[in-house]
């Protein structure tokens, strides 16, 4: 069995957990104590794995740190690694997402607040803004969601570097077919019931919570909306609801299995106004037929009532396993596709993001 790492970004620090030879994950001491870590990535493409962490240093502002020794030491670019060009008049508030490209060896994407996309060509040390998206004619009309006007999700096509999708709260899903030079809104057939009757399928203005790509069938995307769960079979050209058999189609995270086509996971919450797990039980729901049917998975999860929600980036799946973290500081993991669960850590700060990888 291979060694694995789990990175857990919280409201007050970063925690790494290591597994050796397929054994249990052992939580290591806190890093970046008292510092919010809203985004992490584990980049295994190079000769040595690189950890990336989007951090928020309070008065000193947000930045991106990187480590090439699995967190023993951290480095930062000499100048602010993610910074808006002066002509934009914008100031970086948060790095919401760090995503290594699966098709370009040294490229890392960063999603920011205010909503913008940045590209690194040195494995996440320095970044430049993607002007094509910033200059999109819709952008002046974008409105913030509850968490701000943020580009929180980046979906690179697994094999085609020209194709990329992003989700912006609360603007919706946008995609490019030319490497970021031009972009189009891709929200067709997604219903937004908070719009007036007769205009509930807007071109943009959608509150998209998360989007995942099916690595085994890369034209297929899954989307967790503020009101609904959807699937696209043409990389966002058209969307179809798939949440009808779920106990609730409200939630934040959605993840696809890394090697099983058509297998996707969500963690339903009760409703927009009651963001607690359905029935006050943590239950990850899995579909093995691309959203046709769903099955709840909870063996090993708490049986007593629970009330904490799970944020959009706080669930992740890789060959290392399936993991999720809660807003009351618990992290659970499964090594058998969600059939059984074990506790990885508890009494942590509010979990913002989790990422895992086999080393």
- For the segment 154-181, what is each residue's pLDDT rounded down to a tens digit? 999 999 999 999 999 999 999 999 999 9
Task: Quote the pLDDT of residue 198.
Answer: 86
Strand partners, 15: 8
Give the other-Cβ count within 10 Å of 118's Cβ. Answer: 26
Measured between alpha carbons, how far apart are the two ends of the chain, in Å? 11
Burial of residue 197, with CB atoms counted within 10 A of its CB: 0-12 exposed, 13-18 middle, 19 or more buried: exposed
Question: Distance between CA atoms of 111 and 117, rounded to whole angstroms?
Answer: 5
Per-residue pLDDT of the chain (359 residues; tens, 9 = 90+): 589 999 999 999 999 999 999 999 999 999 999 999 999 999 999 889 999 999 999 888 999 999 999 999 999 999 999 999 999 999 999 999 999 999 999 999 999 999 999 999 999 999 999 999 999 999 999 999 999 999 999 999 999 999 999 999 999 999 999 999 999 999 999 999 988 888 999 999 999 999 999 998 999 999 999 999 999 999 999 999 999 999 999 999 999 999 999 999 999 999 999 999 999 999 999 999 999 999 999 999 999 999 999 999 999 999 999 999 999 999 999 999 999 999 999 999 999 999 999 99
Write out the two tokens for 291. Answer: 């959203």
Q: Which two tokens stand for residue 282?
A: 């943590």
Domains (range + CATH), the chain: 4-358 (2.130.10.10)
- Over residues 195-220, the pLDDT tens digits come to 888 899 999 999 999 999 999 899 99
For residue 347, the tally of other CB atoms under 10 A from its CB is 7
The residue whose two tokens read 């696809």 is 256
The reported pLDDT for the residue numbered 332 is: 98
pLDDT score recorded for residue 1 = 59
Torsions phi, psi for 133 (to 5 deg): -75, -40
Rg (CA), the chain: 19
pLDDT score recorded for residue 58: 85
Gap between the Cα atoms of 58 and 244, Å rounded: 42
Asked whether the whole model's pTM tops 0.85, one would answer: yes
Q: Contact at 8 Å (CB) between 35 and 56? A: yes
């Amino acid at each position: 069995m291979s060694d694995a790492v789990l990175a857990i970004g919280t409201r007050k620090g970063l925690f790494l957990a290591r597994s050796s030879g397929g054994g249990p994950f052992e939580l290591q001491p806190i890093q970046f104590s008292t510092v919010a870590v809203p985004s992490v990535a584990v980049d295994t493409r190079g000769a040595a794995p690189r950890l990336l962490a989007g951090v928020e240093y309070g008065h000193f502002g947000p930045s991106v740190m990187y480590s090439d020794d699995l967190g023993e030491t951290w480095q930062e670019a000499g100048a602010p690694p993610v910074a808006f060009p002066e002509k934009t008049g914008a100031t970086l508030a948060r790095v919401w997402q760090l995503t290594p490209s699966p098709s370009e060896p040294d490229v890392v994407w960063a999603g920011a607040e205010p909503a913008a996309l940045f590209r690194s060509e040195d494995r996440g040390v320095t970044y430049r803004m993607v002007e094509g998206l910033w200059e999109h004619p819709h952008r002046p009309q974008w409105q913030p969601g509850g968490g701000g006007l943020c580009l929180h999700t980046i979906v690179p096509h697994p094999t085609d570097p020209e194709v990329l999708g992003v989700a912006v709260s609360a603007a919706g899903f946008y995609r490019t077919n030319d490497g970021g030079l031009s972009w189009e809104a891709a929200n067709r057939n997604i219903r937004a019931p908070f719009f007036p009757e007769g205009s509930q399928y807007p071109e943009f203005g959608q509150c998209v919570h998360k989007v995942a790509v099916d690595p085994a069938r890369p034209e297929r995307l899954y989307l967790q909306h503020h009101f609904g769960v959807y699937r696209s079979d043409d990389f966002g050209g058209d969307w179809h609801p798939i949440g009808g058999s779920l106990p609730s189609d409200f939630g934040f995270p959605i993840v696809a299995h890394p090697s099983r086509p058509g297998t996707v996971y969500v963690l339903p919450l009760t409703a927009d106004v009651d963001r607690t797990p359905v029935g006050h039980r943590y239950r990850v729901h899995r579909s093995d037929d691309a959203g046709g049917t769903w099955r709840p998975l909870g063996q090993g999860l708490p049986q007593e009532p629970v009330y904490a929600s799970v944020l959009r980036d706080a669930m992740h799946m890789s060959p290392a396993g399936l993991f999720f973290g809660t807003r009351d500081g618990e992290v659970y993991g499964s090594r058998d596709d969600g059939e059984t669960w074990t506790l990885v850590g508890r009494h942590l700060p509010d979990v913002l993001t989790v990422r895992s990888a086999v080393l």
